[in-house]
Structure formats: structure tokens, C-alpha cells
Chains A and B, each alone.
Chain A
């Protein structure tokens, strides 16, 4: 366990440099070397989402199946705030305060994050009183409730028909900046006092509580911050995909998010980013083969619907069976690099 040092914030901010550098390389690839900007933006958005999940679940040890509720909240609010008011005037039943504004993207993103944070505050106070199986189940119930509300509140969300056209604000620059910010926030939180105490409760909640860690309070803090990041990621996601339906925030994306989180390693921010990279690769490269017929010689498959889903299932099963700690394991990238460079210190005792 890392000791809290005096300049921990500077040190952990510097610790994100390998990740930030990697993200910058990806961005440069898009800016100047002709990388597909849409795919790369998708990667950055996935980074924001999975880092948000890591902030809560990685530190607290409670796997959240409900983060897509925050993502959806952010996407719908930020989307509505940025759609051209002339278009919105044709939407029946849209409340006035949503029908008139035409906000700058960053403001709308912050509003989406704020709304998601508010949802996290309300739900967190209720849900995080629970422990173990009850907590997992209640968080899952949050996802189910959110899906029903997104589907049924047609005046605002347009229901299953989908809300469109959202402006394409999710440019590679915007998504890159938000991704770096998210990584920084998650890493700072992880190394902060709250983060460390929360990790202690993850290892043994009873021991942590017995030495005076207010486990529930720290969980709620992480939940709110995590919800806000997820809301921001949701805002970007909406602008990237430009048509959002409730299905964008239900079981399949939840599963994809959890795959990203677990494949890279749940305990580290770096692992989350690696997971995002792998899943984005699968999502983007296999999309071309979806709904296409394939001739395998001995049999012809007419429509490969759900191929992406299938690949994600395989990924998670492989990791579950062979490497439960995920690709990175316990150490952040900079920590591994440092121990490579430095000669291992003599073990204490």
C-alpha cells in the first residue's frame, strides 16, 4: 500500500504521463497521420466511460451494473441542450427550459455531468447503504429503472424512436481533452486520502470500518464523482453517435463497459484504458462484418447479427478463466515502469 506523501497530488498527476502520452499519440495519429477520427473519438469516449466505472468499482470493489444510467442521463441532457432550437420546436411535449437553449458543447457537457452527479447523489444515498449481493442487485435495478424512464418519458427522450439529430460535437480534440481530464481525475482520486481508505475497505470492509473508516461515506463520494464522469462521457457519446435510443444505455453497452473494465485489470486506471482500447478495436473492426452474410464453405451464415457481442463474450470468458486480475494486474503503468528502471529495494524486515 502506498503511503500518503506530501506531494502525492503532483506525483500521481505525473504518474498519468504514460497514459496521457499514449492518448496524445493516438490523437496525433488522428490529427496528422490520417487515422480514422470517428474511430479514435470512439476510443476516447470509451476511455472516459471506463475510467468513470473504474473510479467507483475499482476503488470500492463493488462492481456497478448501473453506470449506463448515468451515461444515458448525460447523453440525453447534453444532447437536448445542444440541438438546434429550430429543430426542437417540432418536438411535441418538450419542456420549455429544454426547448430554447442552444449551448456551447463544454457547458452542455458539464450540465450532463451535473445531472448525472445529482442522480448519483440521490441513488447513492439509498443504494450504498446496502452491501454485497443487495448492493449489486440494487445498482442493477437502477439500470432497469433508468431504461424504463428513457423509454417511457417520450416527451423528453423521444422514447424508442430515438433522439436525433444531435450535433457532432464529439470531435477528436474534444474527446481527447475530456479523456485526459478523466484519467487525471481518476488517478488523483485513487491516490487521494478518500481513494486509499476506500481501497482499504475494498480489501476488508469490516477491518476498515473498525479502524474508523466511514466506508459508506467514501463509497458515496466515489459514486457521485464516478457518476459525473460517466455523465460527461455520455454527453460525448451522444454527440458521437448523433441518434440516441434507450437501447444505447441498456444491457449490451453495460456489458461492453464491464468487459473494458475487467479485461485490462480492475484495480488500475491504466488497465481501464487498455481495456477501452481492446474493446473499441473489437467494436469498430467487427462492425463491418455485422449483418453481412459469410460463406464458410461448408455452411453459409446469412446475417452475423451480434458478432461484436459474441467477441466481447469470448474476451471476458478468456480473462475470467485465465487471468482474473486482468491484463495489468495490480500496478499502474508508471509503477511498473519505475520498478523496471529502479533496482528492487531490499525487502523490509
Chain B
């Protein structure tokens, strides 16, 4: 029993990271039809920012703020430089471009920053572990979950209560009509990228608080898992993406713990096979995309 609870705690924490990234991916996808593989590199950039700042003895609140600024700016720059010239291109063209951007950032980091993994000097309090009975609750994992839920709630308020949020939801439904209503397309698109960058920054802060270090390739497996989460939840559905992320985190954690021997390494393959199965049976995802961005 305690083992199961422990696996659930781990799964929820893992799922939170996936959910945050899946949320950013889904937001950009719903508006532009772009699966942004370079989304993982935003996390990597966040990681390198943390590494640089902690090495220069910045206090952690400053690191927190500056990391979020860095990933948001990186996302906006990505949109401006790489994706804006291709607005309206096919999904394959956009996907190739996002691969290109992803490799470009990875190679630049390798050449200009560091080819070796770098440890991040996070504050000691991130090692705190709380206990309840036999189940241990590492502080970082609890915070990860709480922050994820808070981020989702804040985002909901933003999307429902602000003019820009409503415009973004509408753009996910029908971009042309939104433009006819007098909303500037670039404002909506840039906001979507900025928000996805902000969410990636939050994910980076949480992820690197417990990860052993940062290297240029750290974003790839993260973005792949987030991508699986997005599909699980239904492409373009934000709540679906969050649920998909959590389902994937829980499934991976439970499969990892309960599959025996060599099968453990296949847990991700099982998850992906399930994804393909879901696409076949329910192309609209687990939750469905009828509601668009909400």
C-alpha cells in the first residue's frame, strides 16, 4: 500500500513537469498548428540560465525571476525569427523548422557554452524531505505539484477573464474570424509563445531543482513526453494536455515500478503504443477538442 502511494507521489510529480510542458505545446499548436519540438530547448535554456546565475551567487528569488524572463524571451525570439516567416505553412514544414530550431539551439549551446553536463548549485533546502507515515514527500515534488496546479488555475483565469485570453481562445477556434474582429494576429501568436515560454521556465525551475545537472540534450526526452501528453489529452485542448501529462507521468511511474527486469525500459514504448491506439480509436484525444482552448 505504502509502495503504491509512493509511486503515485512520484508519478504526480513527474506528470506535473510533463503537464506544464504539454500545456505550452498545446497552446502553440491550437493557434498555429505547430508542434514545437524546440519547446524542450526552452527548458534547456532555463537550465543554463539557472546554472550561470547560481554560479555567480545570485540569491534564489532573483534566479527564479531571471530564468522565467530568459525562457519567455527565448520563446518570443523563436517565434519572431523562425516561425513568423512560415505562418500558414503545412504541419510538416512547421515540424521540420521546429526540428531545425531545436538542433540549432542544441549545437549553439554545445559550441558556445559547454559540451559537458554541468551541475547546478541549487539551494540546500531543495533537498528537504517530509514524511507522512512510511511515505516520503520530497519538498521539490510537493512544490512541483502545487505550482503546476496554481499555473493551470492562473492560466484559466487569464484565458477566461481577460480580453487577450478570450482572443486566444477564439483564435484556437478560428483564427481568421478573430482577425476580422480586429484582433492583431501577431499579438495573439506572440502571447501564445510568451506564455508557453513562461510555462517552460516554470518547468525548468522545478525540473532542475532535483535533476542532477543540465546538458544541451536534456530538452529532447522532455519534449517527447510532453508531446505524448498532448496527444493523450487531445491536440489543442489545454485541460486535455494537463490531464494527458499527468496520466503519462502516473503511467510511467507505475509501469516502471511494476514491470519486471528488462521490460522496465519498454514502459515508454507501451505508453507510445497506447498513444497510437488512442489516435486510432479517438483521434480527438481522451478529452476531445470540441471546447478548443478552454
Contact = CB atoms under 8 A, between A and B. Distances in A.
Contacts of B24: none
B115 A133 contact: no
Nearest to B273: A145
Contacts, number: 105
Interface of B: 33, 35, 85-86, 91-93, 95-97, 99-100, 103-104, 106-107, 110-112, 115, 220, 224, 228, 231, 235, 262, 265-266, 268-269, 272-273, 275-276, 279-280, 283
A148 B110 contact: no
A346 to B, nearest CB: 36
A133 B230 CA distance: 13
Nearest to B224: A144
A301 B92 contact: no
Contact of A145 (B92, B111, B269): B269
A301 B96 CA distance: 28
Given A152-B262, A262-B96, A317-B100, A307 B107 contact: yes
Given A144-B224, A306-B103, A313-B103, 19 more contacts: A144-B268, A144-B272, A145-B269, A145-B276, A148-B272, A149-B269, A152-B266, A251-B99, A255-B100, A303-B111, A304-B111, A305-B110, A305-B115, A306-B107, A309-B107, A310-B104, A310-B107, A313-B104, A320-B86
Interface string A131-156: 01110111011101100110110110
A50 to B, nearest CB: 15
A108 to B, nearest CB: 26
14 contacts: A65-B95, A132-B91, A137-B231, A144-B268, A148-B268, A148-B272, A252-B103, A301-B112, A306-B111, A309-B107, A312-B103, A320-B86, A320-B97, A324-B93
A260 B276 CA distance: 28
B96 A258 contact: yes
Q: Which of A130, A304, A306, A312 has the most CB of B within 10 A?
A: A306
Contact of B91 (A136, A148, A152): A136
Contacts of B100: 255, 313, 316-317
Nearest to A262: B96
Given A127-B276, A151-B265, A134 B283 contact: yes
A234 to B, nearest CB: 20
A129 interface: yes
Contacts of B92: 62-63, 136
A141 B272 contact: yes
Contact of A303 (B91, B115, B262, B268): B115
A138 B281 CA distance: 13
Contact of B280 (A130, A133, A142, A148): A130
A137 B279 contact: yes
A321 interface: yes
B111 A305 contact: yes
Contacts of B280: 126, 129-130
B208 to A, nearest CB: 22
A127 B275 CA distance: 12
A77 B85 CA distance: 43
Interface in A286-335: 301-307, 309-310, 312-313, 316-317, 320-321, 324
Contacts of A127: 276
Contacts of A63: 92, 95-96
A160 to B, nearest CB: 10
A-B pairs with lowest CB-CB distance, top 3:
A152-B265, A306-B107, A63-B92
B116 to A, nearest CB: 10
A306 B110 contact: yes
A24 to B, nearest CB: 32
Contact of A133 (B33, B106, B107): B33
Contacts of B91: 132-133, 136
Contacts of B265: 148, 151-152
Contacts of B93: 320, 324
A149 B85 contact: no
